[in-house]
Amino acid sequence: MQNTPLVAAACGLDCIPSRRTLDRRLEDIGAQAEAQIRTFGLVLTLEAVTDATVAASDGSAFATSGPVWHKKDKQAGQIPAGLHGLDT
């Protein structure tokens, strides 16, 4: 998603966080997010916006921009040149 500026703009963001950043953040809110999505789906079904026969989710992995940060370098505290958007 990082290479889709239209999605970022629709979300009110300058850029989409990396998949790993999103994964870490979703770990913390996973159960709550699932409940909200389930409830939203029920509301859409009850209001006849959609029906409950089909659901889809895009779980595609997207290439990230920037340098690779290898595990051994991360553990050693070595940050590659050009790495941006780092959560510390």
For the chain, give every domain's residue range: 1-53
More confident residue, 22 or 66: 22
| DSSP one-letter code for 64 | P
State pLDDT tens for residues 64-88.
677 888 889 889 988 888 877 776 5
| Alpha helices per DSSP H over the chain | 5-10, 19-46, 71-75
Q: Match 């595990």 to its residue by tokens.
A: 71
What does the block give as tokens for 4?
């889709």
Model's pTM, two decimal places? 0.33
Q: How wide is the angle at C-alpha 10 spanned by C-alphas 6 and 16, nearest 5°?
A: 70
